[in-house]
Amino acid sequence: MRITLDLEIKDVPGELIKVLHPISDHGGNIISIVHNRDKSTPRGRVPVKITFEIDRKLFEGVMRDLKDREIDIIRVGEQRLLEKKTVLLIGHIVHTDLTDTIDRIDSTGFAEVVDLQLTMPDLNYPSAALVTVSATGKKELGKALEILKDVGKKKKILVIEPVET
């Protein structure tokens, strides 16, 4: 999973490294660090934003170690859906229960339909939809797209992938 932490640290040597050690010690992989030493929070601390990837099971250890080191954690944000792809659907999308098609992806727990753009030229003609699916990883995204293709076969909807937008 990908985590973003907003922290406040003291403006003293070694304070930033004190934050990084727990992430490293628990197997986290740092994506970015924004250390605004020129700015100050209302409490007179330095704001730091760290984004990293870590196994969900190991994240609690990071949080515990940061608290033990008396690091002020202001906000924790999780970016659960890391991969996404847009596909084109062509067919009688609405008449074959669009909600069911979306629910098949959303109910997996590892993928979601995050964007949908639908064009319906006429009731008796096929419609087209750009569907963006996000998932927790590449493997999960592949599984979600396979589900979408299977649903498409059953409902006689053509699935064309990927569509770069």
80-128 pLDDT per residue, tens:
777 889 999 999 998 899 999 999 999 998 899 999 999 998 878 999 9
pLDDT of 132 over the 60 cut: yes
> Stretch 2-26: mean pLDDT, rounded?
92
Which pLDDT score is estimated for 152?
95
Mean pLDDT, all residues of the chain: 90
Written as one letter, the residue type at 162 is P
* DSSP H stretches of helix in the chain: 15-25, 56-68, 98-106, 138-155
Task: Identify the band that residue 163 occupies on the pLDDT scale cut at 50, 70 and 90.
Answer: low
Which pLDDT score is estimated for 30?
94
- The ranges of the chain annotated as CATH 3.30.70.260 are 2-79, 83-160
pLDDT of 61 over the 90 cut: yes
pLDDT of 29 over the 90 cut: yes
Task: Identify the band that residue 2 occupies on the pLDDT scale cut at 50, 70 and 90.
Answer: confident
From CA 164, how far away is CA 35, in angstroms rounded? Answer: 34
Look up the pTM and report it. 0.58
Residue corresponding to tokens 């969900």: 56
Which residues make Cβ contacts (< 8 Å) with residue 33, sequence separation at least 6? 16, 20, 48, 49, 50, 51
How far from the centroid of its chain's Cα atoms is residue 79's Cα?
4
From CA 2, how far away is CA 31, in angstroms rounded? Answer: 9
CATH class of 2-79: alpha beta
Task: Quote the Cα angle for 145-120-163, to 5°.
Answer: 35
Task: Quote the Cα angle for 33-165-109, to 5°.
Answer: 65
CATH class of 83-160: alpha beta
